[in-house]
Amino acid sequence: MCGIFGYLNFLVERDRRFVLDTLIKGLSRLEYRGYDSAGLAVDGDTEDQTFIFKQVGKVAALKKLVDTQEIDFEKSYISHCGMAHTRWATHGQPSQLNSHPHRSDNHNEFTLVHNGIITNYKEIKTLLEKKGFSFETETDTECVAKLTKYLYDSQKNSDITFTDLVKMVVKELEGSFAFIFKSTHFPNEIVATRRGSPLLIGVKTAKKLKVDFVDVEFGNAPDAINIPDKDPTGFMDPTEGGRPQMNRSLSRAFMSEDGMPQPIEFFLASDASAIVEHTKRVLYLEDDDIAHIADGELHIHRLRRDDGNSPATRSIQTLEIELAEIMKGSFDHFMQKEIYEQPESVVNTMRGRVNFETHKVTLGGLRGYLSIIRRARRIVFIACGTSFHSCLATRAIFEELTEIPSQVDLASDFLDRRTPIFRDDVCVFVSQSGETADTIMAMRYCLERGAVCVGITNTVGSSISRETHCGVHINAGPEIGVASTKAYTSQYIALVMMAIQLSEDRLSTTKRREEIIDGLYRLPGHVKEVLAQDANLQKLAEETLSKEKSLLLMGRGYQNATCLEGALKIKEISYMHSEGILAGELKHGPLALIDENMPVILIMTKDSLYPKVQSALQQVTARKGQPIIICNTGDDNLIRDYKTIQVPQTADCLQGLINIIPLQLLSYYLAVLGNIDVDFPRNLAKSVTVE
């Protein structure tokens, strides 16, 4: 929900202006994760000083604040570490005080930025208040900064390392988090850690790294610190467990040939989009990793030393995204750019996976699991928001092709019901970000119960991508706009491909599979045809819909999901009330809403349910409703009698991929006409990493 960014230079001379600009640029790349306030911390003029600047509003407001400071922007540093944060408020209103970084005291001895929620913060706060601490914010995060100081002061005479101090802090915390810590007691050092919230570290050097991994230090050297295991009130007596000592080991990746330290820069961020312009070499932290950066070296420690389940190294991977992919280019908004990318993004989802000549689908990510999935007792699809709609949109074709009973659940409801899950279930988690808290919790619930867990994600290295047994990356490219558009069409295609591959040994469905694969081949062209109607859709939004308060979307069968997704897009970014209604349900209640004033969009593209939707149309027009109809090009009767949006016809199970495009464009124009900041709609954030 929030975005965190850190920048550390070692033996690379940078002035304060450069550091501040780097932090602010990092934040602006992460702004889609939270945009109600922002802040940053950098070194002050002396070693025991840290400057903190915070501002309500978007990153641009923080930049303005920073630019007007009377500080020496030319002051140069050979080594320096800074951190920054963009917030989506959970605990405490968006305000300057509640913004991050948070600090331990008036001297800013410890400063930190946090993404996530500390669920036991009240207990910690009460204990610290008893110890004489007072709090200046309403946030859960501030208690972590104060707890760090409390533990540090209790250990003052013991030469405690920054890493060990943070270990002690983290052992007291419950909830989800990614943190960056900075301290005047440990100049030019950063400690970062995560549990449940994403965090990665980019590395930039002039020379190639010696190896492309970092050893994990499990702290089992004889002189390693011995921190007692978690005890809810452990920090009441932190000296228990012996005197902490240094546990130094060399990290092979950063050793230079001649043993001399080499110039290096580190970039820490909640996601890759803030790092890629600086370096493509990144390392993803695992839960309970404690990363310590000092003296040009990155060390990864584990929270507990007997943690045998964690791999012994963290690989330094090469990012595949390009800077251009996270820039708006000539478009006004990311959402608009992403809608327009769909002719390409749908191809990227299928690239190397669909052979249009032999009509064969091969998903490398499911290799090794196909026979287990085919034997499943049922398939349970679990997701939130738009990702949930992509599951709804493809459930019918899954059932038809695989004949495996399929169930689609919203992640939060799935968890609330404590849905029974068994070892012979296959659970499919669909998530653009791969970091949605509800979906992750549902995934862990299913993993615990022994089900095979499959991920469908857009983000390589995300929690869902890493923790599922197998899965498919949808390869749609980074999606920045809060409203999900290209990820929806790519998830939809990934699920259709999965259904096709699972049924490849069923001869009776061969023709059907071929028909669908032919439809997939024509899809990019079809999407382009709809995008070409941009001007008409803009006009429709402007002249017919923008003054309305409400909009109903109706359809049935495959188009039910299109209606729900279209309505979500409209309400999410234009703030107009909009509802997707299954046309078969009209007479069971919603028909009461229909009169000559109620705006309705009816989806009537040709499939086997067309006659039934015709009857819904009659029910609406009989109540003087004047629906706008999404129909196939050439459906002359409808085109003559109604206001229509015409789309090319394709296989029934793919028609939703085409029908959603005009609704994405309509929602976009409604938002633009309403003067809404399309990519940053109120109260929302791109990646919902809290429950």
The residues binding ligand UD1 (CB under 6 A) are: 364-365, 455, 457, 460, 464-465, 468, 470-473
Minimum Å gap between C-beta 479 and ligand UD1 is 16
For residue 365, the partner it binds in ligand M6R, ligand UD1, none, with Cβ less than 5 to 8 A by kind, is ligand UD1
For residue 484, the partner it binds in ligand M6R, ligand UD1, none, with Cβ less than 5 to 8 A by kind, is ligand M6R
Q: Following CA atoms 161, 167, 173, 174 in sequence, which dihedral angle do they give, to the nearest 10 degrees?
A: 160
Minimum Å gap between C-beta 470 and ligand M6R is 18
Q: Which residue is nearest to ligand M6R (CB)?
A: 385
For residue 471, the partner it binds in ligand UD1, ligand M6R, none, with Cβ less than 5 to 8 A by kind, is ligand UD1
Show Cβ contacts of residue 159 under 8 Å, excluding neighbours closer than 6 positions: 244, 245, 246
Q: Which is nearer to ligand UD1, 242 or 368 (CB)?
A: 368
d(CA 496, CA 519): 11
Cβ–Cβ under 8 Å, residues 307 and 218: yes
Q: Which is nearer to ligand M6R, 387 or 465 (CB)?
A: 387
Q: Which is nearer to ligand UD1, 228 or 368 (CB)?
A: 368
Minimum Å gap between C-beta 561 and ligand M6R is 13
- The secondary element (H helix, E strand) that includes residue 550 is strand 550-555
Q: Which is nearer to ligand M6R, 184 or 439 (CB)?
A: 439
For residue 688, the partner it binds in ligand UD1, ligand M6R, none, with Cβ less than 5 to 8 A by kind, is ligand M6R
Minimum Å gap between C-beta 381 and ligand M6R is 13
Q: Which is nearer to ligand UD1, 82 or 455 (CB)?
A: 455
For residue 364, the partner it binds in ligand M6R, ligand UD1, none, with Cβ less than 5 to 8 A by kind, is ligand UD1
Minimum Å gap between C-beta 394 and ligand M6R is 15
Cβ–Cβ under 8 Å, residues 16 and 72: yes
Q: Which is nearer to ligand UD1, 11 or 319 (CB)?
A: 319
Of 656, 645, 635, the C-alpha closest to 533 is 645
- The secondary element (H helix, E strand) that includes residue 9 is strand 3-15
For 39-97, give the DSSP string: EEEEE-SSTT-EEEEEEES-HHHHHHHHHT--S-TT-EEEEEEEEEEEE--SSS-S-TT
Side chain identity at residue 571, one-letter code: K
d(CA 42, CA 364): 45
- Which residue has tokens 């003067």? 675
d(CA 588, CA 573): 29
Please count the other Cβ atoms lying within 10 Å of the Cβ belonging to residue 668: 28
Stated length of the chain? 691
**Quick check: is 563 catalytic?**
no
For residue 408, the partner it binds in ligand UD1, ligand M6R, none, with Cβ less than 5 to 8 A by kind, is none
For residue 483, the partner it binds in ligand UD1, ligand M6R, none, with Cβ less than 5 to 8 A by kind, is ligand M6R
Minimum Å gap between C-beta 246 and ligand UD1 is 37
Cβ–Cβ under 8 Å, residues 550 and 524: no
d(CA 84, CA 142): 15
Q: Which is nearer to ligand UD1, 56 or 382 (CB)?
A: 382
Minimum Å gap between C-beta 660 and ligand M6R is 11
For residue 386, the partner it binds in ligand M6R, ligand UD1, none, with Cβ less than 5 to 8 A by kind, is ligand M6R
d(CA 19, CA 8): 9
For residue 432, the partner it binds in ligand UD1, ligand M6R, none, with Cβ less than 5 to 8 A by kind, is ligand M6R
Of 554, 286, 573, 568, the C-alpha closest to 410 is 568
Minimum Å gap between C-beta 468 and ligand UD1 is 4
| Burial track 66-83 (b if 16+ CB lie within 10 A, e otherwise) | beeeeeeeeeebebbbbb
Starting at the edge strand found earlier in the chain, the sheet holding 406-410 runs 406-410, 378-383, 425-431, 452-457, 470-473
Cβ–Cβ under 8 Å, residues 643 and 628: yes
d(CA 42, CA 51): 5
Minimum Å gap between C-beta 159 and ligand UD1 is 43
Q: Which is nearer to ligand UD1, 497 or 540 (CB)?
A: 497
d(CA 88, CA 684): 8
Minimum Å gap between C-beta 216 and ligand M6R is 28
Residues forming a β-bridge with 8? 81, 266
Distance of CA 229 to the CA centre of its chain: 32
Contacts with ligand M6R by CB under 6 A lie at 384-387, 431-433, 436, 439, 482-484, 568, 572, 687-688
Q: Where are the alpha helices (DSSP H) in 172-230?
A: none
For residue 387, the partner it binds in ligand M6R, ligand UD1, none, with Cβ less than 5 to 8 A by kind, is ligand M6R
Residue tagged active-site, from 2, 446, 453, 470: 2
Q: Which is nearer to ligand UD1, 60 or 321 (CB)?
A: 321
Q: Which is nearer to ligand UD1, 217 or 438 (CB)?
A: 438
- Which residue has tokens 């300057």? 96
Q: What is the largest CA-CA distance in the chain?
A: 86
Active centre residues (catalytic) = 2
